[in-house]
Amino acid sequence: MKRILSITALLFATTLNLNAQTSFPRSEKEDVQGYMSKAYWALWNEEEQARIDADIERYRKSNAEITLPNIAKNSDVKIEQISHHFIFGAHIFNYNQLGKKEYNDRYKELYGTLFNSATIPFYWREFETEPNRLRFATEYWDTEEYWNNCPDPYDQPHWRRPSTDQLVEFCQQKGIRPHGHVLVWGNRKWHHPEWMLETMTPAEREAYAKFFPNEPNRFRDEDAMTEEYKNLSADEVGNIFKHYADTLTYVYDQRIRRIAEHYKSAVKSWDVVNESAVDYERGNLIENHTISKTRYGLMHGDMDYKALQSAKKYFPAEVKLNINDYQLTDGYKQQIARLIERDCKIDIVGLQMHLFNPQSCVDIANGANIQTPQGVRKMIENFKELKLPLHLSEITITSPSADDKGYMIQAIITQNLYRLWFSMEYMMGITWWNVVDNCGAKGEPSTSGLFFRDMREKPVYHAMNNLINNEWTTRLTIKADKQGKVSFRGFKGKYRITWTDKSGHEQSMEYNLE
């Protein structure tokens, strides 16, 4: 019977007319259309699937025992999970930017139904376009009316960068977790405002023009650096750019202070430091050094430490402070351990995984040694010794082709990886990156969304929705014992429990299952 249901689901899938109950193949024998190769299913075999199921049962569920007051004899007790403790998130960078009200409305519906967390953009370049003018408040160019009448949204400087107060308020209304991204990042192209260069002394500007002749018209920051600059020592760079080093350190500290004072604990967690592990491994981050030659250009030599100390100083204690990176190596783990030794507050470790290249997903479907269950376990378990919650903070899985097979490959890869990630002991959340096709940053793949550009659902949406809102949501109807006690095992989260009392009235309560 199970196989017949799976085949029926796949027939629906090929028409892209799926519903929330659709299931996707988890073995070669269920993959009757041959979307994935035999080599792929040899990696994601029935033994692996059974191990994933067992680990989900072990780490994501808990036992509950509750005594219900004044319950009527033989009353049904309805157990309904209404939220998850585990974070299922996405960035919310395209809020009100999709060009039509019906598109925007569908996008907003996802937050609070599919997603219980929204990553809010605080990229410095667009957040503070002029010194001391922080884009907390919504202006006309942030409104739905503006974007619905904008002929060239992708070319606007604040595309994917909506004002932040409206996003925090939206999250509060939806009852979901707002997550801030990012406070300190060395990247000049995507993060640093151009006006920072104006804070240099004339001598520093002259030196900068010599060492960075292609600034700012470049894509890769290292392409902008001359060999002469690359050959300078950290001390030489510090002597040349001493004023700028002091200014940058001060301005970053004040940026964190002003954001912290504005939001206090309204934003529950922050990516304080982003993508610094490569520089740590290269020896570009130097403890107690004022400036360093990072791969992005000039940054404080101890920027990760300085940023985390500022965030610790200014944010309330209950706000979670994260470090975030794609360089998931021993070097990143050592960097975190050293920062903790130096009394930095790191509450969550962010791990990125971007399959930007469509060919990577073709290779995975063909059984290549990419994001295999064995490889993923090894990589993530390497961070377990830090004994910190792990957040898969930025996830991209691309449709490798614009046809039914490509869309199904994206869905099956997503289903298996989400199941594996969800099964891991220290994992606390997974955040999908680009929700809608063709709405990423320039240079990112256009087919990595859960939705087409016109907000039609892709198979990957249904794969994810089926996991989160069906397979991983507990719904039961049971009986209490003679003492009015009910016992059940369910996914960790908040529950609504409903029963009939001895007077015939319906009663309900909320229950938190840890």
More confident residue, 76 or 19: 76
- Whole-number pLDDT of residue 224: 76
Q: Specify the pLDDT at position 104.
A: 98
Percent of all residues in the chain with a pLDDT value above 90, rounded to a whole number? 86
> What's the token pair of residue 394?
């930025």
Alpha helices by DSSP H, 197-327 = 202-211, 227-230, 234-240, 242-263, 277-282, 303-314
Q: What is the pLDDT of residue 3?
A: 36
Measure CA 317 to chain center: 22
The DSSP-derived string for 397-458 is E--SSSSHHHHHHHHHHHHHHHHHHHTSTTEEEEEES--BTT-S-TTS-TT-SSB-TT-PBP
Average pLDDT along the chain: 93
Residues, the chain, total?
A: 514
The pLDDT tens digits of the residues spanning 192-244 come to 998 998 999 999 999 999 998 876 554 456 667 889 998 999 999 999 999 99
Average pLDDT of the segment spanning 323-331: 98
Q: Region 165-191: what's the mean pLDDT?
A: 95
CA-wise closest residue to 89 among 470, 495, 468: 468
- Pick the closest to residue 418 from 109, 114, 64 (CA basis): 114
Question: What is residue 194's predicted lDDT score, i.e. its pLDDT?
Answer: 87
CB half-sphere exposure, 382, CA atoms < 13 A: 16
* Residue 488 backbone phi and psi in degrees, to 5: -155, 165
CA separation for the pair 128, 93 (Å, rounded): 16
Please, is 303 exposed, middle or buried when counting C-beta atoms within 10 Å of its C-beta (0-12, 13-18, 19+)? buried
Q: What is the pLDDT of residues 340-397, one digit of tens each?
A: 999 999 999 999 999 999 999 999 999 999 999 999 999 999 999 999 999 999 999 9
What is the H or E stretch that residue 351 is in?
strand 348-355
Q: Which of 161, 391, 182 lies closest to 272 in space, CA to CA?
A: 182
Query: pLDDT digit string (tens) for 89-110?
Result: 999 999 999 999 999 999 999 9
pLDDT at 81: 98
What per-residue confidence (pLDDT) applies to 222? 67
Poorest-pLDDT segment among 156-160, 212-216, 290-294, 331-335 = 212-216
The per-residue DSSP string of 251-264 comes to HHHHHHHHHHHHHT
Q: What is the pLDDT of residue 105?
A: 98
Q: Work out the average pLDDT over 80-90.
A: 98
Residue 120 confidence (pLDDT) above 90: yes
SS (H, E, C) 144-192: HHHHHCCCCHHHCCCCCCCCHHHHHHHHHHHCCEEEEEEEEECCCCCCC
For tokens 């606007």, what's the residue? 156
What burial class does residue 511 get, using C-beta atoms within 10 Å of its C-beta: 0-12 exposed, 13-18 middle, 19+ buried?
middle
d(CA 300, CA 107): 39
Token digits for 86? 């585990």
Residue type, 348: I
